Amino acid sequence: MMQPDLRPMLATLTDKPFDDPGWLFETKWDGFRAVAVAAPGRASLYSRNLNDISKKYPSICEALSAIEHEAVLDGELVALDAHGRSRFQLLQNAEREPARLLYCVFDLLYLDGKDLRGRPLLERKAALEQILPKSPLLLYSAHVTGAGIKAFNRAKRLGEEGVMAKLATGRYRAGERTREWLKVKASQEQEVVIVGFTAPRRSRKYFGALVLAVREGKGWTYVGRAGTGFNAEMLRSLHAKLVPLITEVKPIAEKVPDAANTTWVKPKLVAEVKFTEWTSAGEMRHPVFLGLRTDKKATDVVREMPKPLSEAKSRPGSRRG
DNA sequence: GCTCATACTCCCTCAGATGA
DNA sequence: TCATCTGAGGGAGTATGAGC
């Protein structure tokens, strides 16, 4: 086979679902992007940055080696929860804890030496469906055509991350972020109380991230940090509101990552954040600051999702950041 | 030997600057 | 105007070294 280009095509983020007969809509899988190079009896997996991750997922490689062609596939490595939903965190723990791993394949880039990237998406997907062997570890990522809003609402109802919208006639553009692939994300929102802020780094001014908590019982429970969603003016004005609230007293009893780098404030300001999901430690994943809520009392702010069953907040050491 | 902190890896999102 | 790049942030892991 010719030297294949393994750089995956990237999607542009949008938050508005749409209907269009020229587009197809797939499940947005929540895992690691992986490109597979397969041939009869052997297969390798590569991350988005072209690192060889075959040794981390030998069972997936073994399943892929059953493909009776030389092929380069594009897909997402996921771990499924008890409800069959893909969960990023399960995947990260998969090396230590048993999880149901799955390689969800949604595109075929090369087949038996032929470069298919110039062919329309629908044609590539049809060829992919033909060659993908039946395996509990491999899944052909099916799609619906046209009905994007319905697909998005269904994904939201099932607690999934969203849907991928793809131009049916689109070519595969390796390594490019295009508007022919769109990820339509269904994010969650939560009111939180600001209990501190971290120091800025590099060119950032005023503060790095906001330390966030919710009311539980008579105390405050740490739920994560939001370091994005601000522009320069928001950083300045928010910092001006935080400075008069600075206190030596840490509002949270539990251990907080990077506490030495945190300035604590009295829990007065209520913020609205959006995020992708709750982690097993009861913290928000990918929190993004949306704005301050002046109509809410800090003591009224509670977690809007039930705390996960896994209460164990194991924190081996502090994290980067 | 154990615990904890640090520094690195992997992945991700988002905002702002820059250049075509 | 749009695409791309950079740098801010996040969650998770592993490896290493210091201190008890």
Please, what is the average pLDDT of chain A? 75
Please, which positions of strand C sit below 7 A from a protein CB? 2-4, 7-16
Give CA–CA dist A270/A292, Å, rounded: 6
* Element spanning A115, H or E: strand A114-115
pLDDT over 60 (residue A98): no
Separation of CA A40 and C1' C9 in angstroms? 43
CA dihedral over A245, A246, A251, A254, signed as positive or negative = positive
Encoded tokens for A207: 């503060």
- Chain centroid offset of residue A45 CA: 20
CATH class, domain A189-300, is mainly beta
* Terminal Cα-to-Cα distance of chain A (whole angstroms): 43
Domain residue spans in chain A? 10-187, 189-300
pLDDT in tens, A244-285: 888 877 777 766 666 666 777 888 888 877 776 666 566 776
Confidence of residue A68 (pLDDT cuts 50, 70, 90): very high
Own/partner long-range contacts of A2-7 (Cβ < 8 Å, ≥24 apart):
A2/A110, A2/A113, A2/A115, A4/A37, A4/A72, A4/A109, A4/A110, A5/A109, A5/A117, A5/A174, A5/A175, A6/A35, A6/A37, A6/A46, A6/A50, A6/A72, A6/A174, A7/A50, A7/A174, A7/A175
Largest CA distance in chain A: 67
Encoded tokens for A116: 């298919």
Query: What values do phi and psi take at A115, rounded to 5?
Result: -85, 110
- When mean pLDDT is compared over A49-53, A85-89, A131-135, A251-255, the highest value belongs to A131-135
Confidence of residue A96 (pLDDT cuts 50, 70, 90): very low
Residue nearest to nucleotide C12 (CA to C1'): A92
pLDDT of residue A141: 87
CATH superfamily ID and name for A10-187: DNA ligase/mRNA capping enzyme (3.30.470.30)
Please, which positions of strand B sit below 7 A from a protein CB? 4-17
Encoded tokens for A185: 């994300």
Separation of CA A62 and C1' B3 in angstroms? 39
Q: Is the shortest CB-to-strand distance from A299 to strand B under 7 Å?
A: no
pLDDT in tens, A137-178: 888 988 999 888 888 878 777 766 678 888 888 888 777 666
Q: Is the shortest CB-to-strand distance from A316 to strand B under 7 Å?
A: yes
pLDDT of residue A311: 35
Q: Do A266 and A245 meet the contact criterion of CB atoms below 8 Å apart?
A: yes
Separation of CA A175 and C1' B19 in angstroms? 19
Separation of CA A317 and C1' C14 in angstroms? 12
Residue nearest to nucleotide B9 (CA to C1'): A320
pLDDT over 50 (residue A320): no
Residues of A assigned a catalytic role = 28
Closest-lying nucleotide for A50 based on CA to C1': B10
Q: Do A247 and A264 meet the contact criterion of CB atoms below 8 Å apart?
A: yes
pLDDT over 90 (residue A43): no
Give CA–CA dist A82/A300, Å, rounded: 33
Q: Do A67 and A130 meet the contact criterion of CB atoms below 8 Å apart?
A: no
